Amino acid sequence: MDDKYIGIVRGEATFVSYEFSVNPEEDISFGEFVVTKNRNGETVLGIVRSVKNINWLLSSAKSNFNSLKLDVYEYGDSIVENEEIVATVKILGKVDDGELVPNRVPVKNGEFVYRAPDEMLEEIYKPDRAGIEIGTLLLRPNVKIHLDVEELVSRHFAVLAVTGAGKSNAVAVMVSEIVEKIGGTVLVLDPHGDYVNLSLPKTGEDLVNIIEGKIKVDDLEPEELADLLEVSKNAPIQRDYLAKAWETVKHENKEHGGRKLLEDVEALLREWMSKRIIRYWNPKKESYLTEEIKSERIESIRGLIYRISRFLRNYGEFVTGEDLVAAIRPGMVNVIDLGPLDEEQMRLIVGKLLEKIFTTRVEFEKARKSIRWASGRKVKEYESVMKEVKDKYPALAYPILIIVEEAHIFAPKGEESEASKIMSRIAREGRKFGVGLGIVSQRPSRLNEDVLSQMNTKIILRIVNPRDQDHVLNSSEQLSRDLMEDIAGLGKGEAVIVGQAIKVPALVKIYNFKELGGRYGGEDIGIVDRWREMNSEISGIEDIDF
């Protein structure tokens, strides 16, 4: 430890906090790590939570401006000599063989206070298992910060910040470490195309798999299809005809999928409208039924045809019969580009996608665990389940981390969409089946509380909205009010990290992904540069002599 002490403990000192008078020859900063001794002579690590300058000559409670002015003239330079800098420290724990354990003994008055050595902090923050390197301590650039991957993925995490604070950069750093260093499988749901140009620092685009976000209509229930086509819930007649046409087409045209399936529905509705009679398949009775169309209902069918036609015209290229889950590749960053779709379509796709991933992982893990104790025919059944998953969805034969950007779209507060329900279930049960969840949001107060509260590691960059701050604080057992106060003052790329993936809460400077050699989108448009470019082009056009 450095022999140069930075202060002496004074005043009230407990086992959770103390204050010290700062050595005037030393500079001390908010957030600095310091060590001293408790009454048993044991080393105690703490973090400076406040620094204040006190002048005892000018500290009288009865002083007013005029009396202070007279004091300044009277005492002159001696005022400076009566200044004292006092720092308040929150105790993080007792250092025991490189580990931080609870401190139960008060700090001793009169003890010297020192800066904590970098080596001590490195040892304390080093994970016991495989870790990913995300950045450095904000005030100690030599101390690298690692996150425990097991805890990060299996217990889930959240990345929260205002726009422009560095959320996408933090995600890119974590994803590259998980894939390039650990060899994990990651799926990123990307509503704004922030990662469609992703390139990793070491492997470039070799381990990046971009998947075009499309709607697999084949798997939709009639009510979901009606929502997709924006058929009002207050239009039961249209919804009824759509359901009957949908079930009929799926029964008769099993080889069709995607856009062709919707075109078949449109054609069948036109046929019904022209004949004024519908013949439809009833899956419950497993037979065809016939009914006459009343004249006042013709317009309902006509409106339904219009909605299908409009949807195919506007979104037909994003309709598919292919299975998006089958496109996910193991050991890669898989990015599903949802950018061209509207929010309702995104929610529908994400709900179905996450449901398929989770149920497939559940089936595989149950079979994998059960086969150890099975015998006879059961062994073959479990082997068949596992083989089918490996053949059809090779990435899902292993754990997967799902990162949901703009998570407040898919799991909004006070709403129960299918996407929200399955995200809640993954948050509760995912660790048992190897499905990790990471949520990213700029408006945490709009997030489903159940989902946010189960993100057991939180990487919180700058948040200034008091409502967002309170929401995050209420959902985080390990986030204290004093740490929350730090968050509003953070700079770009700076974060408070708390939770199970890190041993001690920390203020961290997250690595710059591009400086590491990576690339991603998500940057702001250079407004001034674009305007200059515009005016240059306009000027060039005006200069042309016609």
Region 195-222: mean pLDDT is 91
164 versus 289: the higher-pLDDT residue is 289
Query: 80: pLDDT confidence band, cut at 50, 70 and 90?
Result: low
Three-state DSSP class for residue 193: coil
The structural domains of the chain, ordered by start, are 7-116 (no CATH), 146-212+323-529 (3.40.50.300), 217-320 (no CATH)
C-alpha angle with apex 420: 417 to 425, nearest 5 degrees? 130
Region 261-281: mean pLDDT is 88
- Written in H, E and C, the secondary structure of 467-494 is HHHHHHHHCCCCCCHHHHHHHCCCCCCE
| C-alpha–C-alpha distance, residues 408 and 420, integer Å | 9
Query: 95: pLDDT confidence band, cut at 50, 70 and 90?
Result: very high
State pLDDT tens for residues 101-121: 999 999 999 999 999 999 999
279 versus 334: the higher-pLDDT residue is 334
* Crossing angle (nearest 10°) for helices 236-252 and 298-315: 60
378 versus 471: the higher-pLDDT residue is 378
Burial 94-107 (b: 16+ CB within 10 A, else e): bbeeeebeebeebb
Query: 542: pLDDT confidence band, cut at 50, 70 and 90?
Result: low
Region 85-107: mean pLDDT is 93
| C-alpha–C-alpha distance, residues 134 and 145, integer Å | 6
Which residues does residue 281 pair with via DSSP β-bridges, in sequence order? 288
- Which residues make Cβ contacts (< 8 Å) with residue 264, sequence separation at least 6? 249, 253, 256
High-pLDDT (> 70) share of the chain, %: 94
| C-alpha–C-alpha distance, residues 419 and 350, integer Å | 6
494 near 508, Cβ under 8 Å?
yes
Burial 56-74 (b: 16+ CB within 10 A, else e): ebeeeeeeeeeeeeebeee
Region 284-297: mean pLDDT is 86
pLDDT at 438: 97
Which residues does residue 320 pair with via DSSP β-bridges, in sequence order? 216
pLDDT at 57: 66
High-pLDDT (> 90) share of the chain, %: 51
Query: 275: pLDDT confidence band, cut at 50, 70 and 90?
Result: confident
